[in-house]
């Protein structure tokens, strides 16, 4: 190892020296310096957004075309504030300045119906290929840009071309390197393309949640695939140990909403899992707290009112006070309203009371209001009765029921 380091310390400076001599005595370096002077200072600034949108557009087009070539229709394409989206009639273009927070782009597919396992596997494969195509396009374009610059540096005598190409190559290389770095990142629900691809290949629950969410973006919402996706959720729950991560909680909520709001049949084994699994460990994250309140609604829906009220009381006492206050208040009022504990229709009709989430990103083409209002509808009233005993005239206990 030491010999290798010593060899590198000798070889690297040697090659740097040789290249420096070649550049200087052949005039390449002087030609390069003169080319840089041909680019005005304001063009150096302008080339940054140009390079950004060129690299971003090519990356997102990689995702876009990968879906297209596999027969998957497209619903929307985001390039920071510039959005292209499809309705039932045609494509539209709008500028949404608020979307600057994305600092990137997004491709939203318009998935076909998933009615069986073959459809499911085919859609998963399309996602996997699309996830990898974007990074491949980014890497290939960066390589082609660098090679074009090197060829021009050594062989071109057009200093104007070389100067402008230098500015574009510099920014393109830096931005592409940044993209490649983000492909490997994962934090707070954000997953880079490489991470998402790996999860799609190895984590069935991650795949299910992604496909279930994107089914919400279908142009034709009159046709749904709730039955198959519900059965798929049941199968995944039964083969997975209960845990507290984001995607398991989302899987459980998919099941709960299927029973409560879509009229799906209760699976007795899953029902027992819900009853046995402790919920206290879920009360320290926003997604976990949402899941816990959904269990309250589910229990009430199933007629287990006493358990629902007991769980509600436990959640109110033990939930983390570090969580967003607005979210905690909203979930509490929504749950009590739905289970006929209190009536907060005015509060729930005011969108200013809704907690912040990421659904606003899809507002250009998706109105979540009908879905949210559906979740606010009170369930059919369930009788909650408690046995009490009153002494009769003879001093003996008479059992009655008070509702």
Provide DSSP, 372-398: HHHHHSPPPP----EEEEEE-TTS-EE
- Sign of the four-CA dihedral 49, 53, 56, 58: negative
The closest alpha carbon to 216, from 359, 67, 401, belongs to 359
How do strand 91-95 and strand 82-86 relate by DSSP bridges?
Answer: antiparallel
Q: Is 309 exposed, middle or buried (0-12, 13-18, 19+ CB in 10 A)?
A: middle
Q: Which pLDDT does position 171 carry in this prediction?
A: 95
Neighbouring CB atoms inside 10 A of 306's CB total 13
Task: Give the SS3 label for residue 73.
Answer: strand
Residue 211 in tokens: 């496909």
pLDDT of residue 367: 81
Task: Provide the whole-model pTM.
Answer: 0.86
Distances (CA, A) of 59 to 20, 49, 77, 298: 36, 15, 11, 43
Residues 6+ apart with CB under 8 A from 296: 308, 311, 312, 315, 335, 339
pLDDT at 402: 43
Predicted local confidence at residue 224, as pLDDT: 67
- Bin 83: left if φ > 0, else alpha if -120 < ψ < 50, else beta: beta
pLDDT tens per residue across all 403 residues of the chain: 566 666 556 555 645 555 455 555 455 667 777 888 888 999 999 999 999 999 999 999 999 999 999 999 999 999 999 999 998 878 999 998 888 877 889 999 999 889 999 999 999 999 999 999 999 999 999 999 999 988 888 887 888 898 899 999 999 999 999 999 999 887 767 789 999 999 999 999 999 999 999 998 888 766 666 789 999 999 999 999 999 999 999 999 999 999 999 889 999 999 999 999 889 999 999 999 999 999 999 999 999 999 999 999 999 999 999 999 999 999 999 999 999 999 999 999 998 898 877 778 888 888 888 888 889 999 999 877 666 666 665 555 554 444 4
Residue 226 has what pLDDT? 77
Q: How far apart are CA 227 and CA 64, in angstroms?
A: 29
Note whether 269 and 238 are within 8 A (CB): yes
- Cβ burial 223-261 (10 Å sphere, 16+ → b, else e): eebbebbbebbbebbeeeeeebebbbbbbbbbbbbbbbb
Structure tokens at 247: 């995607």
Which pLDDT score is estimated for 37?
86
Q: Where are the alpha helices (DSSP H) in 183-324?
A: 193-202, 204-215, 226-238, 246-262, 268-276, 286-301, 305-318
307, burial (CB in 10 Å: exposed 0-12, middle 13-18, buried 19+): middle
Sign for the pseudo-dihedral over CA of 281, 285, 291, 294: positive
CB 329 within 8 A of CB 354: no
Q: Name the helix (H) or strand (E) containing 79.
A: strand 73-79
C-alpha dist (Å) from residue 68 to 46, 92, 104:
32, 18, 21
Tokens 């490489």, located at residue: 194
Per-residue tokens: 104: 């990137």
Task: Return the pLDDT at 400.
Answer: 46
Dihedral (CA of 387, 391, 397, 400) sign: negative
Place of tokens 């559906």: 374
pLDDT in the model for residue 34: 83
């Amino acid at each position: 190892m030491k010999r290798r380091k010593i060899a590198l310390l000798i070889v690297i400076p040697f090659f740097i020296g040789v290249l420096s001599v070649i550049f200087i005595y052949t005039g390449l370096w002087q030609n390069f310096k003169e080319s840089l002077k041909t680019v005005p200072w304001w063009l150096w600034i302008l080339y940054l957004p140009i390079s950004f949108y060129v690299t971003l557009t090519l990356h997102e087009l990689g995702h876009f075309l990968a879906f297209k070539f596999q027969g998957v229709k497209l619903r929307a394409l985001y390039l920071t504030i510039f959005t292209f989206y499809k309705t039932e009639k045609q494509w539209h273009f709008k500028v949404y300045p608020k979307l600057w927070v994305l600092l990137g782009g997004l491709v939203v597919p318009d998935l076909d119906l998933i009615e069986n396992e073959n459809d499911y596997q085919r859609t998963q494969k399309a996602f996997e290929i699309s996830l990898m195509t974007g990074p491949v396009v980014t890497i290939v374009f960066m390589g082609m840009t660098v090679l074009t610059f090197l060829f021009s540096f050594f062989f071109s005598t057009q200093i104007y071309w070389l100067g402008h190409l230098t500015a574009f190559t510099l920014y393109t290389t830096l931005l592409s390197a940044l993209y490649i770095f983000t492909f490997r990142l994962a934090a707070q629900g954000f997953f880079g393309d490489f991470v998402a691809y790996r999860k799609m290949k190895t984590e069935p629950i991650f795949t299910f949640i992604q496909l279930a969410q994107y089914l919400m973006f279908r142009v034709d919402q009159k046709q749904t695939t709730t039955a198959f996706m519900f059965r798929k959720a049941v199968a995944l729950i039964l083969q997975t140990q209960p845990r507290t991560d984001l995607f398991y909680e989302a899987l459980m909520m998919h099941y709960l909403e299927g029973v409560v709001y879509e009229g799906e049949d209760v699976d007795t084994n899953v029902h027992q899992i819900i009853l046995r699994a402790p919920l206290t460990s879920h009360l320290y994250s926003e997604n976990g707290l949402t899941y816990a309140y959904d269990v309250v609604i589910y229990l009430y829906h199933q007629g287990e009112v006493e358990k629902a009220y007991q769980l509600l009381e436990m959640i109110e006492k033990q939930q983390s006070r570090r969580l967003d206050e607005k979210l905690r208040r909203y979930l509490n009022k929504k749950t009590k309203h739905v289970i006929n504990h209190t009536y907060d229709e005015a509060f729930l009709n005011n969108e200013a009371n809704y907690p912040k989430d990421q659904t606003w990103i899809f507002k250009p083409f998706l109105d979540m209001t009908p879905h949210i209002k559906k979740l606010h509808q009170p369930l059919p009233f369930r009788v909650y009765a408690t046995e009490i005993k009153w002494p009769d005239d003879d001093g003996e206990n008479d059992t009655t029921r008070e509702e």
